[in-house]
Amino acid sequence: MEFIPISKPSITQKEIQYIMDAVSSGWVSSLGKYVDMFEEKFASYCGTKYALTTSNGTTALHLVLVALGIKPGDEVIVPDITFVATGNAVKYVGAQAVIVDIEEETLCIDPESVKKAITPKTKAIIAVHLYGHPANMEEINKIAGEYGIIVIEDAAEAHGAEVNGKKVGSLGHVGTFSFYGNKIITTGEGGMITTNDENLYERMRHLRDHAMSKEKRYWHTEVGFNYRMTNIQAALGLAQLERIDEIIAKKRLIFEWYKEGLKDIEGIKLNYEAPWAKNVYWMLCFEVEGYTEKQRDELMKRLKEKNIDTRPYFYPLSDMPMFEKKIDTPVAHRVYQRGLNLPSYFDISKENVDYVCEVIKELLKI
């Protein structure tokens, strides 16, 4: 069997055509029709009034926090299991990342833990939609409303996921997305911010381009950022967005292949989908009950020997030296040790999925 990677993008003739058109136009930097079209159509897809392209998902988070006025002395609640960018963006503005536990089923931020972590210094909650499953936004928004706290959706891993029929990115005050090469849709590197708040949108748009004056070119009244997306990237993104329903449908089918192939194994868990949610299965999650980190890593090593690529769950933020741990997170520390991601890219074949399932059964002595 040939090597089966954990992920790779799906690039068709549509993407190539749009990119070549962008290159041929001469508009290869941050101006051009594809930037405007991508923003407009992404906002429409998510169900928001505004969308703003950025250079990546991390800069999207940073830009949001700056525009919201989050500053040193403020606290922002984040889940313990997430990509490090979520916590780093809070650090960038000098605020305190208050780390809380996750739900064992959804792997997303736990609303009860959020409620317990709120203090007079709490200014925002970043609800991360992890591995394609949305956080419980109904409960998060209810808590935030009680305390007057901003809700930021980190939807980097969940383009198209839904809560009660509404797409992520439209469920909080503001949402952020990543278009890195392994995401549901990609621009190579890139990000997007979605919101219905016109003032916030205009503020972020101003800061994104070095805070340049609209009336007086090359005049800057404050420190801004170069967080723009190129027209070439946006061309790729637009083509991908036009295929997103097809991509998500295939990701959901791949999950069903794994579910069928691994159904007879006791003590394992795959991705969960809450009754109120639509999971887009960005990553195929596989957990072995009772596994330690060492046992998980050994399984990954043996899968690699069989030409199957994997990746571990994210390490808890609270274990990393740059973050201060104030709250116990037993679920996060139990889950991360036993979890890994299996190959689930768009073009993977059922034959390859069946092979992965058979090798897992063999290694677990099923």
**Segment 268-311, tens digit of pLDDT:** 999 999 999 999 999 999 999 999 999 999 999 999 999 999 99
The rounded percent of the chain whose pLDDT value lies above 90 is: 95
Q: Is residue 319 part of a domain?
A: yes
Instruction: Verify that 270 and 234 share a domain, yes or no.
Output: no
pLDDT (0 to 100) of residue 366: 58
Q: Is 91 helix (H, G, I), strand (E, B) or coil?
A: helix
Domain end marker among 241, 265, 294: 241
Q: Is residue 7 part of a domain?
A: no
Domain end marker among 226, 241, 256: 241
Instruction: Verify that 292 and 340 share a domain, yes or no.
Output: yes
Instruction: Verify that 78 and 196 share a domain, yes or no.
Output: yes
- pTM, rounded to two decimals: 0.96
Q: Is residue 4 part of a domain?
A: no
Q: Is residue 6 part of a domain?
A: no
Mean pLDDT of the chain: 97
Tokens linked to 310: 């994997």
What's the average model confidence in pLDDT over 27-51? 95
Q: Are 100 and 114 in contact (CB under 8 A)?
A: yes
Q: Is the pLDDT of residue 334 over 70?
A: yes
**Segment 96-112, tens digit of pLDDT:** 999 999 999 999 999 99
pLDDT (0 to 100) of residue 30: 84
Alpha-helical regions (H) of the chain: 13-25, 33-46, 57-67, 85-92, 111-117, 137-147, 198-208, 231-241, 244-261, 293-305, 330-338, 350-363
**Segment 173-201, tens digit of pLDDT:** 999 999 999 999 999 999 999 999 999 99
Q: Is the pLDDT of residue 27 over 90?
A: no
By residue range, what is the domain housing residue 128? 13-241
Cα–Cα distance for residue pair 105/146, rounded to 1 Å: 26
3-31 CB burial, b ≥16 within 10 A, e <16: ebebbebeeeeebeebbebbeeeebeebe
Looking at the structure of the chain, the number of domains it has is 2
pLDDT (0 to 100) of residue 188: 96
pLDDT (0 to 100) of residue 146: 97
**Residue from 354, 60, 59 nearest 51 by CA:** 60
C-beta neighbour count of 266 within 10 angstroms: 7
Instruction: Verify that 56 and 101 share a domain, yes or no.
Output: yes
pLDDT (0 to 100) of residue 97: 97
- Tell me which of 29 and 163 has the higher pLDDT: 163
Q: Is the pLDDT of residue 168 over 90?
A: yes
Instruction: Verify that 191 and 97 share a domain, yes or no.
Output: yes
Instruction: Verify that 127 and 271 share a domain, yes or no.
Output: no
Query: Which CATH number do you get for residue 231?
Result: 3.40.640.10
Q: Is the pLDDT of residue 336 over 80?
A: yes
pLDDT (0 to 100) of residue 29: 85
Query: Which CATH number do you get for residue 302?
Result: 3.90.1150.10
Instruction: Verify that 181 and 271 share a domain, yes or no.
Output: no
Q: Is residue 119 part of a domain?
A: yes
Q: Is residue 112 part of a domain?
A: yes
Cα–Cα distance for residue pair 127/333, rounded to 1 Å: 19
Instruction: Verify that 115 and 222 share a domain, yes or no.
Output: yes
Q: Is residue 3 part of a domain?
A: no
Instruction: Verify that 55 and 204 share a domain, yes or no.
Output: yes
pLDDT (0 to 100) of residue 36: 97
Cα–Cα distance for residue pair 182/190, rounded to 1 Å: 12
What's the average model confidence in pLDDT over 51-68? 98
Instruction: Verify that 218 and 91 share a domain, yes or no.
Output: yes
Instruction: Verify that 195 and 262 share a domain, yes or no.
Output: no
- Tell me which of 300 and 31 has the higher pLDDT: 300
Q: Is residue 355 part of a domain?
A: yes
Q: Is the pLDDT of residue 325 over 80?
A: no
Instruction: Verify that 175 and 29 share a domain, yes or no.
Output: yes
Domain end marker among 213, 241, 269: 241
Q: Is the pLDDT of residue 326 over 80?
A: no
**How far is CA 320 from each of CA 81, 157, 281, 359, 364, rounded to the nearest angstrom?**
12, 22, 27, 33, 31
